[in-house]
Amino acid sequence: MIKKSANLLLVDDDPSLLKLLGMRLTSEGFTVQTAASGPEALRLLQREKIDLVISDLRMDEMNGLALFSEVQKQQPGMPVIILTAHGSIPEAVSATQQGVFSFLTKPVDRDALYSAIDQALAHRAPASDDAWRENIVTRSPVMLRLLEQARMVAQSDVSVLINGQSGTGKEILAQAIHAASPRAGHAFIAINCGALPEQLLESELFGHAKGAFTGAVSSREGLFQAAEGGTLFLDEIGDMPQALQVKLLRVLQERKVRPLGSNHDQDINVRILSATHRDLPKAMEKKEFREDLFYRLNVVNLKIPALHERAEDIPLLANHLLKQAAERHKPFVRSFSTDAMKRLVAASWPGNVRQLVNVIEQCVALTSAPVISEALVEQALVGENTALPTFVEARNQFELNYLRKLLQMTRGNVTHAARLAGRNRTEFYKLLSRHELDASDFKE
């Protein structure tokens, strides 16, 4: 059965034939992109997620077979159907030997064309089988290698630690691993370990018994129990308090969890994925993260590159995100101008994909034209430079400023500063170490 949601790229230097075939396929429910030459088609392939290329054979600038060869360099395995008004058996044999999926003679029989499209899309599906990572849009060789690793580790229950800057998509990768795993039919539950106070985080993870603390009027299961049979994703594991690191280690070792305030253990069957933006080996050196827990979590390590390290993905991502935003808010918005796209590619993206999403949402919200201009992109980028930090980033900045103020007030007297903060000296020293502050720098 033909996959009507497929995105087809039609290539022909005859405008009338290009328009006619495009209208025919659009009326059948396909999404259709058109290009009047081979080079234009290759540029479109860099911007759009294409499922199948249908090209004329005889074109002035680049013929169909030359285009096929370039397409395979860009996207190996992309099916290509060649159409020609001058078909011959030798040409057809040569084309199919080179890997062209189908070779059809004009005027193309409707049923023959749809049959070829159907077979080409069916042939591509098993090879790519991308449903498990449908939310990850990429053609970057680095990302494709990472996804291949992710697919392989998904098949077992080994613990995976995902490293990457904020906004790179660590949770999305974790969701993809879950979707590709035998546990895909069960729950995927995520929690940010740096966003909750220690007692609340402990209760969220392990559950609590009735009366375990003030306000615990009934027993409540934790996320380990709620994720039974599925996957629990511990985001920003590097920010987990050390007391909870000990309890988490016990859970991983014994595969049992004890709710807060309970005397009874509960067996669990959960896969653990975790992520952090921190340098955990460095945190281990500072005694801020347990070495034994690190090795339990870091059986396989996956590192997501920053967006500026995979700039070839920016046009593809930008167009994908623009299409989504336009569908939600302004369907008349179609594309970026050439200069606007160049500006997006040239940006440094300290906030990574999360920042790109915000910039494109702003552009769509503010535009009244179908094509996003460079000026609008620039305006959105400037606005992003003053955007709010994440909760964790804001909390860390507050802690740093607070500690500096305490040390200034007490002239570097740690005992006095700890007393003012309501912390014991050991805890206070850990806070100073975490924020790389030296009390002696504040002594007069």
| C-alpha radius of gyration, the chain, whole number | 28
Per-residue pLDDT tens digits for 343-382: 999 999 999 999 999 999 999 999 999 999 999 999 999 8
Who contacts 106 (Cβ-Cβ below 8 Å, separation ≥6)?
A: 83, 84, 85, 87
Query: What is the structure's pLDDT at 191?
Result: 94
Per-residue pLDDT tens digits for 293-334: 999 999 999 999 999 999 889 988 998 899 889 988 898 998
Instruction: Please tell me which of 105-114, 207-216, 232-241 the model is most confident about, judged by mean pLDDT.
Output: 232-241
Distance CA 58, CA 204 (A): 64
Helices (H), 10-60: 15-27, 38-47
Distance CA 123, CA 128 (A): 9
Query: What is the structure's pLDDT at 57?
Result: 87
What's the residue count for the chain? 444
> Residue 130: what are its φ and ψ, rounded to 5°?
-90, 5
Task: Provide the CB-side half-sphere exposure for 416 (13 A, CA).
Answer: 11
- Is the distance from CB of 168 to CB of 136 less than 8 angstroms? no
% the chain with pLDDT above 90: 44
Distance CA 94, CA 99 (A): 9
Distance CA 321, CA 336 (A): 11
Task: For residue 423, name the pLDDT band (cuts at 50, 70, 90).
Answer: confident
Assign 74 to helix, strand or coil: helix
Mean pLDDT of the 406-428 span? 86
> Residue 221: what are its φ and ψ, rounded to 5°?
-75, 155
Rounded mean pLDDT of the chain? 86
Query: What is the structure's pLDDT at 372?
Result: 93
Task: Provide the CB-side half-sphere exposure for 63 (13 A, CA).
Answer: 7
- Is the distance from CB of 222 to CB of 203 less than 8 angstroms? yes
Top pLDDT among 241 and 386 is at 241
> Residue 333: what are its φ and ψ, rounded to 5°?
-75, 125
Q: Please indicate, yes or no, whether the overall pTM of this predicted structure exceeds 0.75.
A: no
Task: For residue 277, name the pLDDT band (cuts at 50, 70, 90).
Answer: very high
Mean pLDDT of the 418-433 span? 85
Per-residue pLDDT tens digits for 142-183: 999 999 999 999 998 999 999 999 999 999 999 999 999 999
Q: What six digits make up the tokens of 414?
A: 């740690």
- Is the distance from CB of 316 to CB of 47 less than 8 angstroms? yes
Query: What DSSP letter does each residue of 166-199 carry, written as one string?
Result: TTS-HHHHHHHHHHTSTTTTS-EEEEETTSS-HH
Helices (H), 180-273: 198-206, 223-226, 242-254
Distance CA 206, CA 7 (A): 46
Distance CA 317, CA 311 (A): 10
Mean pLDDT of the 373-402 span? 79
Q: What six digits make up the tokens of 169?
A: 């998509």
Number of CB atoms found within 10 A of residue 287's CB: 12
Query: What is the structure's pLDDT at 168?
Result: 93
% the chain with pLDDT above 70: 91
Distance CA 81, CA 220 (A): 58
Per-residue pLDDT tens digits for 78-136: 889 998 876 555 666 666 666 788 888 888 888 888 888 988 887 665 444 677 888 89
Side chain identity at residue 399, one-letter code: E
Q: Which of 126-130, 222-226, 231-235 has the lowest mean pLDDT?
A: 126-130
End-to-end CA distance of the chain: 79
Task: For residue 406, name the pLDDT band (cuts at 50, 70, 90).
Answer: confident
Distance CA 262, CA 220 (A): 11
Side chain identity at residue 432, one-letter code: L
Distance CA 310, CA 322 (A): 19
Task: For residue 1, name the pLDDT band (cuts at 50, 70, 90).
Answer: very low
How far from the centroid of its chain's Cα atoms is residue 197's Cα?
27
Plot region of 33 (φ>0 → left; ψ -120 to 50 → alpha; else → beta) = beta
Query: What is the structure's pLDDT at 389?
Result: 66
